[in-house]
A and B are shown apart, each in its own frame.
Chain A
Amino acid sequence: MVTPARHVVVVLLAMLAWPAVRSSAQGLTIDTAGDALKIRAPGFSFLKGEPLARLKDGRTVRVELSGLVLPGPGKSPAAAARRIFALSYDLWEERFAVTTVEARPQSVSHLAQTAVEAWCVDHLTIPLAALGVLGREQQFWIRLEYRFVDSDGVSDQPDPGYTLQALIDVLSRRRKTEASPHALEAGPFRTPARRSSRR
């Protein structure tokens, strides 16, 4: 017979395990295109909560995506690529549009949410030359991060000061990569020769 206490334990364990399950469901692979390494993360979603509500209010949301090449899980990056994207939501078409924030911007519109997120990840490339610092045949990990750079209500920076969560973070032995809700890390990969390398 299953006691109520056991039910509670099972539910608690399921709640604790849920983030890990979600994280592992988001696959990350790499590919090469010309002289660049491309990241593919079909399940990687960053439009949710406050930023998504802001988009639906017709505002522009800017997100910075970072692709980091790590020599080992949780280690300092050996190479990085960053790009800022300006996203907006067409109120009449009910589709998303995105523009890269740079001197010669690239744009696309009429995309569904998953498509616009994939477009941003797809346009984050790491020069293959940057992997040279790792040496040939050396394994590496890829970390995909995002952060919103607007400050009007979508800042993801926590308030300074201690909270219970902050205390748990300080005292826990978890690596930062696991603690951050805005990142996806996968590996090991091997330095691609010229065309395609999959995990």
Chain B
Amino acid sequence: MRTGVTVRHSPDCAIFLNANNFAMGSLLALSEGMRTLGMLLTLLAVVPQATIDQKLAAPEGTTIVAAQVTGFDIDRLSPGLREEIRSLAGTPLKQQRLDELAARIEAERPRHVAAVRTVMEPDGQARVMFVVGRSGESDPDDNVNARYIVEEAELTGVPEAEVSQALRDELQGLVGKRLDSGDADRLQERIENELPNYEVSRRIRRGSERGRIRLLYEARKRELPSWLRFESLRSNALFHSEQGWGTYLDLGIGDRNIRFTPIVAWDYADDLVEEYSGYGLRFETRKLGTRRLGASLEYSWFDTDWRTPTLGALTFKPEVPRPYTSRSTITPLLKFALSPALNVAAGVSISELEPLFPESASRMANAAVASIAFGQRWKDGSHATHNAEASFGVRAGSRQLESDLAYTRYLGQGSYRYDLGRHHVQATGMAGAITGHAPLFERFTLGDSSTLRGWDKYAIAPAGGDRVIYSSIEYRYTGLALFLDVGSVWDENSERKVRVSTGFGFHAGPAFFVVGFPLNTDNLSAIVTMGLRIPGTGIRW
């Protein structure tokens, strides 16, 4: 049996009780009639009536456009419950499920009652509101210490000047009375609201004599959010039907401000012209005295292999620097945050390239590195999440840095991601150019597991290119993805050909399986990529 009540306002203020449209949680289902009615009226006072009075309750099966909690800060619910409420968006309305969630809100917050209200939006979708209000004052206190008298109530960790007189009065108002957990909860909420920069905890201690207790609120200044980000982790193990297997593992180990990242790669060819195997270590700090300033230092050594098409293409491109048998790089960088969303980085990248043919000497590819990056994530009223990122970087190899190769490489990238329940849309784009004689690891490629899926990079531009332009759009519904990729990679003095591909993919946790088809070609053959992507693997101490 489902328990529920709907209250409709009419000109004569009659109240109708309807068991189908207004579902209540377990506490309502169990509690006495009169108290329930009183709570209901309290709850309804919380609902923005003017906006929903004229709207009909949504029927079973209607797609939920958004789910929200009113009358209570959703962040005070457990993460699991918050996630379950938010993930209702995009799913069909099931009253029983909503009732269960309301019951869970009440279970987590026993001094509150929760009701579910669903309304039809003009577009035929349903909006779900969990209306939460405080239950009656007559609730028995379930804390055994409620029989003791509070002899002292104290707030510590906050300078006197930051505490209002009203708050102090309220604190003192608890002294001399028996402990009331409800009052103590309310006061804690009040302190948290008045002092948003502090985390407040509460504890009770024995008082000076038996039967008396001390109520202690302890405030601790919240740690300010970091303005600088660590380098993105991108561990993956991939299979590409034309390029074979490759693995790149990076494991972040550290705390909030410092991170060490060991890196290992085996036969990895997904991002560069070369296929490389080797190791590296990156150290990063995102707080050097201030959260605006950070630094990183990365060392890596990779043994390189070259595909036959690449070596073949290079014989026709004498202007491109020769391939190498190994590459070791050290990259110190300083990072500065202009704002939480915008930061800049500068440093040098010193690379030594061991020649493929022993008779040649090793070559240095030393470059000054500078970049600016923007990243912002926000939510809108419909609980959709937006994530926008953009970056522009310059790498300039210079004789002044004792580089044997002089070049300049520019690369701009951007991405936007929209998430609403099970619907996800991602758009990405990039454009880049190289002037001078850049080493092969700097050259652009397209046609791998994440760009121009459906094409093989060793068929498009086996030696890479010094120009690139690319964009992609992908829609995902839970784990099913559809995409369209468009891009071109070419050399400045050669013909530019735009390639298009489309396809679909399945994503389940870290595992993915993608099939891409090249479109503007006579050779319509599918390319399959699959494997595991674990973008945030790490250990925090």
Contact = CB atoms under 8 A, between A and B. Distances in A.
B373 to A, nearest CB: 21
B9 interface: no
Contact-residue size bin, chain B (C-beta under 8 Å from the other chain): 35 or more
B143 A167 contact: no
Contacts of A31: none
B31 interface: yes
Contact-residue size bin, chain A (C-beta under 8 Å from the other chain): 35 or more
A116 to B, nearest CB: 11
Given A89-B144, A91-B145, A92-B206, A151 B76 contact: yes
A66 interface: no
Contacts of A96: 144
A64 to B, nearest CB: 7
B144 A88 contact: yes
Given A101-B142, A102-B30, A162 B76 contact: no
Contact of A155 (B30, B80, B540): B80
Contact of B211 (A84, A92, A103, A105): A92
Interface of A is mostly: loop
A180 to B, nearest CB: 14
Contacts of B497: none
A149 B145 contact: no
Interface string A132-149: 000000000000000001
Nearest to B213: A91
Interface stretch (A53-61, A69-77, A123-131): A53-61
Contacts of A58: 143, 145, 203-205, 213
A109 B81 CA distance: 30
Interface of B is mostly: mixed
Contact of A64 (B31, B107, B142, B203): B107
Given A57-B203, A160-B83, A151 B537 contact: no
A170 interface: yes
B148 A92 contact: yes
A90 B204 CA distance: 10
25 contacts: A57-B202, A57-B204, A59-B203, A60-B142, A64-B107, A84-B107, A86-B142, A90-B144, A91-B205, A91-B206, A103-B27, A103-B30, A103-B32, A107-B142, A109-B144, A149-B78, A150-B78, A151-B77, A151-B79, A151-B108, A153-B201, A162-B510, A163-B538, A164-B251, A167-B534
Interface of A: 57-60, 62, 64, 84, 86, 88-92, 96-97, 99, 101-103, 105, 107, 109, 149-153, 155, 157, 159-164, 167, 170
